[in-house]
A = this chain, B = another copy of it.
């Protein structure tokens, strides 16, 4: 099975206590696609400017990611710059230059239309909805969003979320969108908005999956060498949906809980690798064997 990914491809400037890089390949769509590509065929929809480096394109190409949906337009690629706090749990945005991303209107190429699984990265809810209108035969939709859309476009967000099978958000966003401090109550409220499966990403504290009365927790991986958390949540989303796509997952009936649990762990695995190097360094050269070994490590971390 294959996965359609819609999200940003960007250049990032990143400063963490471990160092500093600038104009490195980034963007949610990039992290998602790279992570998911270890599990399934990925088809990317994104936009870049004419400054986009062929070497960066080659990074995606080498992971066998279908780039027919990668639009190239005149102008500069989306640029983001940020600096992390000492414990890397907070970050401050220093620059956001949307550039060609400002006019991004995702169009699904004909060759992508039959893709059964869709992951909607964190873009304007109306664009997310537009993607779904172009994919009537989809089998499973997961989506991400953020505080910016929760605050500014709550109605548009509610419209698109209603069509999602699964939502992936962080704990703060879950509280904000639901109005509940308690995560379990928040998940129930979000479920009522549409998505049957609610995955709350909790950074270094792991991830929690809520589905009906079911709850599953993957711990945060005890990383000793945290270099750069940029993209970890997106890598999680890529591992999660990539694994589900590889299983031909459908969100129907009672089945699938075992797949969802493993998907959360594979998401956590990919998020943990992402943090071990700057930018996409932790994901781009990853060997399948290391992914399997770390999956086993996750198992051993909690088995009793």
Instruction: Verify A215–B301 contact, CB threshold 8 A.
Output: yes
Q: What residue in chain B is nearest A181 (Cβ atoms)?
A: B87
For A258, what are the chain B residues with a Cβ–Cβ distance below 8 Å? 304
For A202, what are the chain B residues with a Cβ–Cβ distance below 8 Å? 205
What count of chain A residues pass the 8 Å CB interface test? 32
**Interface of chain A, helix or strand or loop or mixed?**
mixed
Which residue among A86, A87, A206, A304 has the maximum number of chain B CB atoms within 10 Å of its CB? Answer: A304
Shortest C-beta distance, A209 to chain B (Å), equals 10
Q: How many copies does the complex hold?
A: 2
Chain A residues 206-240 with CB under 8 Å of chain B are 206, 208, 215-220, 222-224, 226
Report the bound CA distance from A291 to B303 in whole Å: 18
Report the bound CA distance from A224 to B202 in whole Å: 17
Instruction: Verify B302–A216 contact, CB threshold 8 A.
Output: yes
Shortest C-beta distance, A272 to chain B (Å), equals 13
Instruction: Verify A224–B302 contact, CB threshold 8 A.
Output: no
Q: Any chain B CB within 8 A of the CB of A183?
A: yes
Q: What residue in chain B is nearest A264 (Cβ atoms)?
A: B304
Q: Any chain B CB within 8 A of the CB of A185?
A: yes
Q: Any chain B CB within 8 A of the CB of A43?
A: no
Report the bound CA distance from A113 to B176 in whole Å: 55
Report the bound CA distance from A202 to B222 in whole Å: 13
Shortest C-beta distance, A105 to chain B (Å), equals 39
Q: Any chain B CB within 8 A of the CB of A244?
A: no
Contact of A304 among B185, B205, B262 (CB under 8 A): B262
Instruction: Verify B222–A217 contact, CB threshold 8 A.
Output: yes
Instruction: Verify B181–A86 contact, CB threshold 8 A.
Output: yes
The verdict on A216 contacting B301 (CB below 8 Å), with A205-B205, A222-B208 known, is yes
Contact of A182 among B215, B224, B301, B302 (CB under 8 A): B224
Chain A 292-304, CB-CB to B under 8 Å as 1, else 0, gives 0000001101111
Q: Any chain B CB within 8 A of the CB of A162?
A: no
Report the bound CA distance from A218 to B220 in whole Å: 11
Report the bound CA distance from A202 to B181 in whole Å: 18
Instruction: Verify B224–A304 contact, CB threshold 8 A.
Output: no
In the complex, 8 of the A-B residue pairs with CB atoms within 8 angstroms, ordered by the A residue number, are A184-B222, A205-B206, A208-B222, A215-B222, A217-B219, A217-B302, A219-B219, A302-B303
With A184-B223, A218-B304, A302-B303 already in contact, 10 other A-B pairs whose C-beta atoms are closer than 8 Å:
A86-B181, A182-B224, A182-B226, A183-B222, A205-B220, A216-B302, A217-B302, A219-B302, A261-B303, A264-B304
Q: Which 7 A-B pairs have the closest CB atoms?
A: A302-B302, A217-B219, A261-B304, A184-B224, A205-B205, A184-B222, A217-B301
